[in-house]
Structure 1
Amino acid sequence: MPLYVSNKQIVLPGDLIATRDYNVSGGIYWEGNYAYSYVVGLVDIKGERDVEVIPLTGAYIPRVGDLVIGYVSDIGLTGWEVDIKSPYKAYLPVQEATLKPIDLTNVDLKSLLGIGDIVLAKILDYNLTRDYPVTLTLKEARLGRIENGTLVEINPTKVPRVIGKRGSMVGIFVEELNCSVTVGQNGRVWIKCRDPADEAFVARMIKFIEAESHTSGLTDRVRSLVAQYKSTSRASK
C-alpha cells in the first residue's frame, strides 16, 4: 500500500502521491492505480487512508513578520487557533495576546477572545515541523481585536497591487476620504473610515483594484473614481 509523500510535503505537478489504497482528493489526477498531483500543492494526510493535495497557487504562504488578519476558529488550553486563510494552521499563544501576565488557572480565555472574533496580528514564527506551523503575536501597539469597520477578502497575490508602490494606492483613501486601509498579507483588507458610509465605496474600490490589477494607469483611474465619488457624495449631504 505505497504512499509516496509525507504530511506537509510540498508537491509539484506530476509528482506521484499514492495508489488507490488511499482516498486521495484535491489537486490530483489518476493514471491507472496511481494518483499524481496536477498542482503545486501541500499534502495533508488525515488518519491512515485519507490524503488531500491542497493547491497553493494563489494561496497565502506565511512569512515571519507578515501582518495578517485572522478569525479565531477554536479555543485551546493555552491559546487560540486562528484562520489566516492559509493551508498552514496558525496559533496565538496566550502569552502573545497581551502585555499583561495571565494566570490560566483563573482566566477564561473566552473572555479575552471568542470564536469568530477578528484579529490583526503579526507572524512571530513559522515552523513546518509543528502541529501549528504558524505562531502569531498581538504584542504591538496597532495589533489586536478588530471591533468595527469593514473587511474585504482578495486574492493574496493581488496584495502588492492593492497597497501600491510605497503605499500609493491605499494612500488615496487616506488622503481623500479619511479612511484607514490595512492590508493583511494573507489577502484580507480592513477598512475603517471617519464616515462609515464611505466604507462600502472603498470596499468596492478594493475589489475593483483586484480585478483590474493587470492594467496600466490603475492608480490614476482609482484616484479619478474616488474624486467623482467624493464630489457626488458630499454634494448630496
Structure 2
Amino acid sequence: MDKIREIVLPGDEIDLMGNKPGNGIYIDNGKAYVEYLGIKTIKSGYVNIIPLSGRYQPQKGDKVIGKVVDIMPSNWAVDINAPYLAPLHVNDTPWKVDFGDTGKYLNVGDTIIAKIMSVNEVKQVWLTMKEPGLRKLEGGHIITVSPTKVPRIIGKDGSMIKMLKEMTDSRIYVGQNGVIWIDGSIDAILKVVGAIRIIEKEAHIIGLTDRVKDYLSKNKKGD
C-alpha cells in the first residue's frame, strides 16, 4: 500500500526509515547508499532502486573503454556500449594524423581509453584522447558489466578495485560505460573476472568486500 518514488543518484545516502535494503542499495559502515541511478521505491517493507536504464548513458567527462569499429579519413567510429557509436576526430588525439592516414594509428578492433568530450541534446557523443592516461590499450582481456555495477566494482574511494589489483598483481581499468580491461597472468585474469562476477551478483549484500577478499585468498596460485 505505502509506496514512495523519487529519483536517486549513485552514492546518495538514503534513510531506510525502518525498512530493509533491497535491490540497488548497499550498506557501508552501517549506512545505506544508492548503487545506481534509478527510482527509489518502498514496498512491503523493502527499499528498492529501480534502474532508469541498464544501458550506458554517456555523460560529459566520463572515461570509457571503447572498440574501434570503423575508420574514416578524419575520424574513427568507436563502440562505447551506448545507444550510438561515438566519433573520435583526429584533432582530438595526441597524434598528428594526416588526412586519410587514420588506419596507421588506430585500426578496426583496437581498444582505447577515451573521455566523453561532449554530449548533445540527442545523445550524440564526441570523444577525446588528448588528456594524460587516455591511450590505446595493448593486450589484456575485456569483459562487460552493467554500468550500474561500476560504483561497487570501484568501491568507496577506490577501495575495491585497489584490492583486486593488489591481490592478483594485475592491471585493471574500469570504464564508466561498464567495459573493463584486465591485464596480467592467465590465473590473475581468471581471479579478477571471478571476483567481478561475485560483485555483480552480490552488490547489495552486506560484507561484500570480505566476501571478495575471501574468494581471492582461497583462489591464490597453488591453493
By the TM > 0.5 criterion, same fold? Answer: yes
**Deviation of the 1:140 alpha carbon:** 2.3
- TM-score (normalised: structure 2): 0.72
User: Hey, what's the Cα distance between the residues in 2 that align with 1:93 and 1:71?
Assistant: 15
- Cα distance in structure 2, aligned partners of 1:149 and 1:224: 25
Cα deviation for residue 182 of structure 1 reads 1.0
| Larger radius of gyration between Structure 1 and Structure 2 | 1
Query: Quick check: 1:173–1:180 contact (8 Å CA) kept in 2?
Result: no
Q: Is the 8 A contact 2:90 2:96 kept in 1?
A: no
Q: Does 1:138 align with 2:134?
A: no
Contact 2:168 2:191 survives alignment (8 Å): no
Q: Name the residue aligned to 2:98.
A: 103
Cross-structure match for 1:13: none
What pairs up with 1:9-24 in 2 under 5 angstroms?
none
2:202 corresponds, among 194, 197, 212, to 212
Residue type of the alignment partner of 2:107: G
Q: Indicate which of 145, 154, 176 corresponds to 1:163.
A: 154
Deviation at 1:215, TM superposition (A): 1.2
Q: Is the 8 A contact 1:73 1:115 kept in 2?
A: yes
**Paired residue for 2:72, among 76, 83, 92?**
76
Unaligned runs of 5+ in 2: 1-51
Partner of residue 121, structure 1 = 114
CA distance in 1, matches of 2:70, 2:86: 11
8 Å Cα contact 1:59-1:86 kept in structure 2: yes
- Alpha-carbon distance, 1:102 to partner: 2.5
How many percent of aligned residue pairs carry the same amino acid?
Answer: 41
| Alpha-carbon separation, structure 1, partners of 2:169 and 2:206 | 26
Counterpart mapping for 1:50-69 below 5 A = 57-69=53-65
Give the distance between the partners of 1:176 and 1:69, measured in 2 at CA: 23
Q: Tell me the TM-score normalized by structure 1.
A: 0.68
Q: Following TM superposition, where does structure 1 have runs of at least 4 consecutive aligned residues deviating by more than 2 angstroms?
A: 100-103
**In 2, Cα distance between the equivalents of 1:148 and 1:118?**
9
Aligned to 2:81: 85
Alignment match, 1:197: 187
Q: Secondary structure at the match of 1:114?
A: coil
Read off the aligned partner of 1:84 and give its amino acid letter: I
Once the two structures are TM-superposed, the CA of residue 80 in structure 1 deviates from its matched residue by: 0.6
The 8 Å contact of residues 149 and 196 in structure 1, kept in 2 or not, is answered as no
Distance in 2 between residues matched to 1:161 and 1:79, nearest whole Å? 34
> Is 1:149–2:144 an aligned residue pair?
no
Contact kept? 1:158, 1:213, Cα under 8 Å: yes
Q: How far is the alpha carbon of 1:200 from its aligned partner?
A: 1.6
CA shift digits 1:184-204 (9 cap, x unpaired): 1111111122x3431122112
How many correspondences in the alignment?
174
